[in-house]
Amino acid sequence: MASLTRPNSFLRKALVFQTFISCGVAIIFPYGTSVGDTKLTSERSPEINLDPPFPYYGGKHQTLQVYEDGFITLDDTQARSAYLFDQLEVEFPSIVPWLARMDAGLSQGEITYRLTTNTTVLNEISAYSAKFVEFINFVPVYAFIAIWYNVGTAYYDNSTNNKVNSFQVLMTSDGSKSLVLFDYIRVEWVFFGDISFYTDYDGIENFPQFAIKTEVL
């Protein structure tokens, strides 16, 4: 999983937090423990310091945390649950490439991340982002890269519920602007029901399993 492979088909979205959305050719960064990633083995990572702080919706955020359930929080020390996103207002800064119940402890797939100042990576970002008019001459000082690689749902089992997704998120900044890229490398399953409905049941363990089987697109 160290090598960089380019998938045949994928969906890519770039979000720049100044009303900017773009679809185009993906840039997928090397990932995995062999390039220095830390593996997420629990619900969320420790706090990771961002210096300079990461500008995002008017705030400048000094830390982030990665959650197994496909989201990242900024300057937020509380443990959060994916189901909070089902509420009308999410009252904490977050970046959410894929919201679903996933499990970093499962044998299937892995979630890894790193904060890097590797000049090769930063130069690649600079060259790539220059195609966006807001980012001509963008010189990032760090890149935070996380991947959910071949992850199934939290209910993954090899025989019946064995679809996997891979997606990568990049967060990068020069101290005054921030750029976030989402790369959807492989999408085999989609569901939202486990997030939106399990609060209706008496605990997620009672949520009916049939409702959350994966679907092939």
Ligand X SMILES: *[C@@H]1O[C@H](CO)[C@@H](O)[C@H](O)[C@H]1NC(C)=O
Q: Which residues bind ligand X (CB under 6 A)?
A: 30, 107, 118, 120-121, 157-158
Give me the DSSP letters along 40-100: P-SSBPPPEEEEEEEEETTEEEEEEEEBTTS-EEES--S---GGGGGSS---S-EE-S--S
- What does the alpha-carbon distance between residue 1 and residue 56 come to, in Å, rounded to a whole number? 31
Residue 157 Cβ, how far from ligand X at the closest point, in Å?
5
- What does the alpha-carbon distance between residue 101 and residue 87 come to, in Å, rounded to a whole number? 16
Residue 92 Cβ, how far from ligand X at the closest point, in Å?
32
In a 3-state reduction of DSSP, which class is residue 215? coil
Residue 2 or 11: which CB sits closer to ligand X? 2
Residue 27 or 90: which CB sits closer to ligand X? 27
Question: Which run of H or of E encompasses 122?
Answer: helix 119-129
Residue 117 Cβ, how far from ligand X at the closest point, in Å?
9
Collect contacts of 130-136 with beta carbons under 8 A, ≥24 apart. 131/24, 132/14, 132/16, 132/20, 132/22, 134/16, 134/18, 134/20, 134/177, 135/16, 135/177, 135/179
Residue 162 Cβ, how far from ligand X at the closest point, in Å?
8
Residue 38 or 118: which CB sits closer to ligand X? 118
Residue 68 or 75: which CB sits closer to ligand X? 68
Residue 120 Cβ, how far from ligand X at the closest point, in Å?
4
Residue 137 or 158: which CB sits closer to ligand X? 158
